[in-house]
Chains A and B, each alone.
Chain A
Amino acid sequence: GESVGLHLPTLSVQEGDNSIINCAYSNSASDYFIWYKQESGKGPQFIIDIRSNMDKRQGQRVTVLLNKTVKHLSLQIAATQPGDSAVYFCAETQGSTSGTYKYIFGTGTRLKVLA
């Protein structure tokens, strides 16, 4: 939503440069990690995910890196565009008594693309 960007760490990147957004997670038993993008006034939109048995996964202009040793996740956006300006959230999965996967979300990073 429009107020989700308050109190968030902000990354400012020049248009055309690469962006790297970082996330620390807490649960070493998480099976999946997901990155979401949230534009102002909209709900989070899925970008890319990675399974815990992988350390890198590439999509279109995006790459996710997983370092289980230090419980760190990063999202790399190549050739950042104005349309990439948004808040980015990482999420780790957690099991539940019903077997349903739950998400634990990070607090988010605001990406500002400078023209």
Chain B
Amino acid sequence: DVKVTQSSRYLVKRTGEKVFLECVQDMDHENMFWYRQDPGLGLRLIYFSYDVKMKEKGDIPEGYSVSREKKERFSLILESASTNQTSMYLCASGYSYEQYFGPGTRLTVT
């Protein structure tokens, strides 16, 4: 079974803090993705990576950056968290057109 794990299920941060969300996959997948999920808006792609150190912007990259130093790990960084970044963050990994999701991190920025 594919396993995608995210470092925290729930996280509370203050406005202006730097936030790191970590994602690890154990299937040697080339591709990894970060989404945010908000009520009524569905899942929206923030960034994805197709290889180590390679990344591409998704549909809503503003306010976020990513890092992929190792194939199995993909980090999402909020340089200066803001209240409008309160959301559920979902990581996925996969190959070709398939994507497998982690359980999500619910981030609250106060």
* Interface residue from A3, A31, A108 paired with B42 (Cβ < 8 Å): A108
Query: Per DSSP, are chain B's interface residues mostly helix, strand or loop, or mixed?
Result: strand
A-B CB contacts (within 8 Å), total count = 72
Q: Are B45 and A7 in contact (CB under 8 A)?
A: no
9-residue interface stretch from A10-18, A42-50, A58-66, A77-85: A42-50
Q: Is A4 an interface residue (CB 8 A)?
A: yes
Chain A residues, Cβ within 8 Å of B61: none
Query: Per DSSP, are chain A's interface residues mostly helix, strand or loop, or mixed?
Result: loop
Q: Are A34 and B88 in contact (CB under 8 A)?
A: no
Q: Are B97 and A107 in contact (CB under 8 A)?
A: no
Chain A residues, Cβ within 8 Å of B98: 46, 49
Tell me which residues from 56 to 115 in chain A have a Cβ below 8 Å from any Cβ of chain B.
89, 93, 96-103, 105-108
Q: Are A4 and B97 in contact (CB under 8 A)?
A: no
The interface size of chain B toward A, counting residues with CB under 8 Å, comes to: 29
* Interface residue from B37, B97, B100 paired with A1 (Cβ < 8 Å): B37
Q: Are A101 and B101 in contact (CB under 8 A)?
A: no
Bound-state Cα–Cα, A55 to B100, Å: 24
Q: Are B45 and A103 in contact (CB under 8 A)?
A: yes
Chain B residues, Cβ within 8 Å of A46: 98-100
Give 16 CB contacts A-B under 8 Å: A3-B88, A5-B39, A34-B99, A42-B103, A42-B104, A43-B4, A44-B101, A45-B101, A46-B98, A96-B48, A98-B50, A100-B31, A100-B48, A101-B97, A103-B99, A107-B41
Please report B residues at the A interface, Cβ cutoff 8 Å.
4, 31, 33, 37, 39-45, 48, 50, 54, 56, 58, 88, 90, 92, 96-104, 106
> Which 8 A/B pairs are nearest by Cβ-Cβ distance?
A43-B101, A7-B40, A6-B39, A107-B42, A1-B88, A101-B97, A105-B43, A100-B50
